[in-house]
Amino acid sequence: MLTRPSEGEQRDAMRARARAIQQAGSLAEALRSGSLPKLVETTLSEALVLGLLKQDVRKYLAIFGHGSTDFGDVLRIYEEEGVTRTFNFRNEVEMAHAATALRWQYGEIPAVVTSIGPGALQAMAGSLAAASNGVGVYHIYGDETTFGEGYNMQQVPKEEQGLFGRMTALMGGSYVLHTPEALRDALRRGSLQVNHPYRAGPFYLLLPLNTQPQRVTINIAALPDRPDLPVLAPADDKAYAKAARLIAQARSVAIKAGGGTRGHDAAVRRLAEMSGAAVVLSPGSTGVLPDAHPQNMHVGGSKGSISGNFAMATAELVIVIGSRGVCQADCSGIGYKSAKEIININGDLADALHYNHTTALAGDIGAVIERLCVHLTGASANKAEWLKACAVKKAEWTAFKKSRFDAAPALDAAWQRAVLYQPAAIKVVADFAKSIGAAKFFDAGDVQANGFQIVEDDRTGDTFTESGASYMGFAVSALLASGMADKPRYGIAFTGDGSFMMNPQVLIDAVEHKVRGTIVIFDNRRMAAITGLQLAQYGKEFRTNDSVPVDYVQLAGAVKGVRALHGGFCAEELRAALKEAQAHDGLSVVHVPVYAGQDELAGLGAFGQWNVGNWCDDVQREWIEQDI
């Protein structure tokens, strides 16, 4: 009769495997050298860690609970042997955002670990940012036991099975590891989800409490690797030739660069210059064309720019690249008022065929543009008048912005003194970030809406604005990624007072994980973006502010290790505070009082339409009449 190894023997064997991996330099090398056998009898928890190592997952962001004790103990052993790292947090939403930023900014694949119940639900809510922006991360949650012995604490109290797995499946890919032997299939599906070239997103692994320590024999060599996928593009030249004819014949062409164009800067620039197209950015694609490039018309959409929305509305041909047709980017489907034809470059067929009258070039953006440009010789010859008209609008937008940036501080009712207008304050901080090479993160709300109109990026990757889910608290949480990254970059989080208070625990976690960066709180004592909508739509504001003053300098300064500074009441004082903040070897917080009111200098305005509130009837009526 075979004897089951004792718990101590199991842990010793686990430690020996972790040590073999560390000494070999990688799991793959340990397998090749034979120091790690390919057939291993172990727990599901360790098998999962080994499987994720094959996919380059080495970092775990965790809030442990009774639903993750066995998995957590495996991570303890693997960290002690130098194979993985686990970072503990104080809030699951914050943790999910930090994981999203670690993958989005640095390309590292993390795993989020929570217990069962409320923690898992909070992490899943935070994962909406990853799902909305196409960022692949693993989420590992505890789950109810498989024996059905009665309700487990914190499970959904309902007489149904697998409810957490069903909920997570609504957000992305999901797999309940009810049977440990299913791990290979789970990791195969997960690897494709988190590494999908066009539709990446979160993948949820549900670990029942009683299957985590369950013994299983696995073949490590058979567990799926991280996929190495070739770039794809249409093989037939007919579609390229048709698209090239449309571009050559059209006198006004606009490129709509969606979030998928991030990292394809050179390809987008080449296509723009060869086609004579004006480039209209989305909130998430700033920098794909250098800011000063004459064909860069800046952001277009419901909260766009004078030049960007002009190009969208008047172009007869639109080349949509890497965009999913989100309402804010295409004015709820009516942004292309003069368009007769669409060329859509996207790896996802549904997105590529979002509009009517479309020539779809489905595939990798870089590969498709390279093939298309072969056919574009002379295509820009008849675009001079179009680009001249766009240049006039760009100059108008530049002058419009300058009037806001140069505006002197104004008397604010809440602060009872003169303070900076928010656009002027954001510009000061954005310019400072650019001068020191810092990454910029924008939180949801008025700060975000003004921010993507203000930034002047010359490459993608300098600004991260989570406009997919527009999740309050994302920016300050994203700053934590630099405390976990292999090659960290100094970052500045632009946040409003409301967004900051969604995740103030970042102050503690940033110190714990030795983050170097700055949080700038633009405090207008209200939800200014919604106040503005209420006033624009109904002429009255309602319940978007409170009467409670908060001393954010004192609040932040109460956390040992945080440098808390007042940002002053003018541009010079703010610049001085930013320099002092950057000099601190850790996290700094700069509090900036800003104006809130109906003065037009308080914001950068909206130049598009949006299917919301009492604008719905007009927008929907126009949408019905659109042919595109």
List, for residues 454-510, the tens digit of each pLDDT value: 999 999 999 999 988 999 999 999 999 999 999 999 999 999 999 999 999 999 999
> Are 329 and 296 in a shared domain?
yes
User: 4 falls in which pLDDT band (50, 70, 90)?
Assistant: confident
> Are 218 and 327 in a shared domain?
no
> Are 134 and 180 in a shared domain?
yes
> Are 143 and 247 in a shared domain?
no
The first and second tokens of residue 317, run together, are 């041909």
pLDDT, mean of residues 402-406:
97
pLDDT at 65 over 50: yes
Per-residue model confidence (pLDDT) at position 468: 85
Domain CATH code at residue 125:
3.40.50.970
> Are 356 and 464 in a shared domain?
no
pLDDT at 3 over 80: no
**CA-to-CA distance for 43 and 38, rounded, in angstroms?**
15
Each residue's pLDDT tens digit, 202-241: 999 999 999 999 999 999 999 999 999 999 999 989 999 9
Residue found by looking up tokens 């217990």 in the block:
115
> Are 474 and 578 in a shared domain?
yes
> Are 165 and 303 in a shared domain?
no
Q: Please write down the long-range contacts of 611-618, taking CB distance under 8 Å and 24 or more positions apart.
A: 611/327, 611/332, 611/333, 612/533, 613/533, 613/537, 613/538, 614/537, 614/538, 615/537
CA 334-340-345 angle, to 5 degrees, is 80
**CA-to-CA distance for 141 and 124, rounded, in angstroms?**
9
> Are 263 and 294 in a shared domain?
yes
Domain CATH code at residue 273:
3.40.50.1220
User: Which amino acid type is present at position 210?
Assistant: N
> Are 430 and 385 in a shared domain?
no
pLDDT at 369 over 50: yes
- Considering the chain, what percentage of its residues have pLDDT values greater than 70? 100
Is 15 contained in some domain?
A: no
Each residue's pLDDT tens digit, 606-621: 899 999 999 999 999 9
Angstrom CA distances, 88 to 96, 117, 170, 473, 516, stand at: 12, 18, 27, 18, 18
pLDDT, mean of residues 310-330:
95
Is 350 contained in some domain?
A: yes
Each residue's pLDDT tens digit, 542-584: 999 888 999 999 999 999 999 999 999 999 999 999 999 999 9
**CA-to-CA distance for 449 and 572, rounded, in angstroms?**
24
pLDDT, mean of residues 183-194:
98
Is 13 contained in some domain?
A: no
Q: What is the pTM of this model?
A: 0.96
User: 1 falls in which pLDDT band (50, 70, 90)?
Assistant: very low
pLDDT, mean of residues 527-536:
88
pLDDT, mean over the chain: 96
User: 143 falls in which pLDDT band (50, 70, 90)?
Assistant: very high
pLDDT at 2 over 80: no
Q: Which domain range does residue 55 map to?
A: 22-151+160-222
Is 385 contained in some domain?
A: yes
Each residue's pLDDT tens digit, 100-136: 999 999 999 999 999 999 999 999 999 999 999 999 9
> Are 467 and 542 in a shared domain?
yes
**DSSP character string of 358-372:** EEEEES-HHHHHHHH
Least confident range from 141-145, 280-284, 323-327, 411-415: namely 323-327
> Are 302 and 353 in a shared domain?
yes
Per-residue model confidence (pLDDT) at position 322: 97
Torsion of CA 412, 413, 414, 419, to 10 degrees: 10
**CA-to-CA distance for 351 and 333, rounded, in angstroms?**
13
